[in-house]
Amino acid sequence: MANGFFTDTTLCIGCKACEVACKQWNQLPADGYALTGMSYDNTGSLGATTWRHVAFIEVPESKKRLPMASTAPVTQPPVPSANGDNNTGPGALKFLNIDGDGGASLQIGFPDIGQWLMMSDVCKHCTNAGCLQACPTGAIIRNEFGAVYVQPDICNGCGYCVPSCPFGVVALQHDDGRAYKCTLCYDRQKDGLEPACAKACPTDSIIFGNLDDLKMRARQRVADLHSRGETDAYLYGVDENTEVGDLNAFFLLKAEPEAYGLPQAPTLPQNRVGRGYLAGLAMAAVLSVFSAISLRRSQH
């Protein structure tokens, strides 16, 4: 029996309760007050002390793919603009006039944010996990709940799992030296509780449960969204043909994976091991034969 997450990004409101609940339950240190300056996302990325990360993607009005856009025109409320006309074309700025004293006025332009896409990212607990296969100490295991788990008492901080993750999840904690990532709340699951992030999610965007149930539920959700005209909804991490296999934490997305910082078709690094050794073997054979011949020929 394997458990996992289904993260339905259409329900995410970007409250970051999952990030907070994760930090609190797992007693992860703060990451400081670094502002990214790009969006409401000041977490930046998953890391050794950030096991949930909410991504914020601003879709401009002009780029928005509203399901009904082809049949009904999108109407916008009139916005006061500098020269009096309503600036409602696609990609246009919206202007706000602020009148000050003495006739001076300030005009502020806003980018046309048409839609927010938010997604709570997490370790995917892949079926074919790159980090697990790369770990040279056997510290990374698959536990009884089907999660990929780093045993902190064995990890020696070689750091090879870090570049081996096709999603850039696992990371070294530098003051501790070991690799950390989401444990799928191993401790909570042992006590029959759902992971802290799923528990805290106020909109049930993050659902925890048995994978078979979650997949059925997710397919149903996509079908429903499609029948309602939301034809860009799709599942990322199940029913796909990728080398990492099904993801135990999978997602319902509404834009191309790159927008969320996810690879379109992730590859399993270890699938390149055999080819690498074969190529090396071929080169070893060629060099050995040529070297042996040259050493033999120069004898007399």
Partner 1 sequence: MLGLISSLFAAQNGPVGSPAVPQEARKGRRKKRNLSAQTEFTSYYGRPVVKKPHWVWPIWLYFWAGGISSGASAIATLAHFYGDKDRDKSIVQAGRYISMAGVIISPVLLIIDLQRPERFVNMLRVLKLRSPLSTGTWILTSLGILTGLNTARQVVEDGLVPENTLPGKLALLSSNDVTQFLQGLDGMALGTYTGVLLSATAVPLWANADEAIAPLFLSSAFSTGAAAISLAQAVSGVKADDLHRLDPVEQYAILAELASLGYAYFKLTPEVRKHVIASPFTKSFLAAVWLGMLGPLILKFISPKKGLPGRLFAIIRSLMVLIGGFFLRYAVIEAGKATADDPDAYHSITRGPARGTPEEQARKYSNGRERPFGKGRSTPEQQPNSFQSNNHADGNEGTLPQGNPQDSQYPGSQTR
Among 32, 191, 192, 294, binds partner 1 (CB under 8 A): 294
Sort 140 into a burial class: Cβ within 10 Å, 0-12 / 13-18 / 19+. buried
| Residue ranges in 258-287 that form contacts with partner 1 under rule CB under 8 A | 258-267, 269-270, 272-273, 275-284, 286-287
If phi > 0 it is left, if psi is from -120 to 50 it is alpha, else beta; for residue 81 that is beta
179-180 and 171-172 as β-strands: parallel, antiparallel, unpaired? Answer: antiparallel
Question: E-assigned strands of the chain?
Answer: 3-8, 52-60, 94-99, 105-110, 113-122, 140-142, 148-150, 171-172, 179-180, 206-210, 234-236, 249-253
Tokens of residue 276, six digits: 């690498």
Measured from the CB atom, the residue of 187 and 287 that comes closer to partner 1 is: 287
**What's the closest the beta carbon of residue 208 comes to partner 1, in angstroms?**
16
Q: Looking at residue 92, what DSSP letter applies?
A: -
Q: Which stretch binds partner 1 (CB under 8 A): 15-23, 27-35, 56-64, 188-196?
A: 56-64
| Residue ranges in 128-187 that form contacts with partner 1 under rule CB under 8 A | 130, 133-139, 154-160, 162-172, 174, 176-178
**What's the closest the beta carbon of residue 191 comes to partner 1, in angstroms?**
27
CB count in 10 Å sphere of residue 56: 18
Q: Which stretch binds partner 1 (CB under 8 A): 16-24, 33-41, 142-150, 185-193?
A: 33-41
Which positions from 12 to 31 touch partner 1 by CB under 8 A, shown as an x/- string? --------------------
DSSP H helices in the chain: 17-26, 130-134, 161-164, 186-190, 196-200, 211-227, 273-297
Q: How many residues bind partner 1 (CB under 8 A)?
A: 124
Torsion sign (Cα): 198, 204, 205, 210: positive
Measured from the CB atom, the residue of 158 and 193 that comes closer to partner 1 is: 158
Q: Which stretch binds partner 1 (CB under 8 A): 17-25, 27-35, 188-196, 221-229?
A: 221-229
Which positions from 82 to 121 touch partner 1 by CB under 8 A, shown as an x/- string? x--------x-x-x----------xxxxxxx---------
Return d(Cα 151, Cα 244) in angstroms, integer: 22
Measured from the CB atom, the residue of 24 and 277 that comes closer to partner 1 is: 277
**What's the closest the beta carbon of residue 180 comes to partner 1, in angstroms?**
12
CB count in 10 Å sphere of residue 258: 9
Measured from the CB atom, the residue of 186 and 263 that comes closer to partner 1 is: 263
Q: Which stretch binds partner 1 (CB under 8 A): 21-29, 142-150, 182-190, 255-263?
A: 255-263
**What's the closest the beta carbon of residue 215 comes to partner 1, in angstroms?**
12
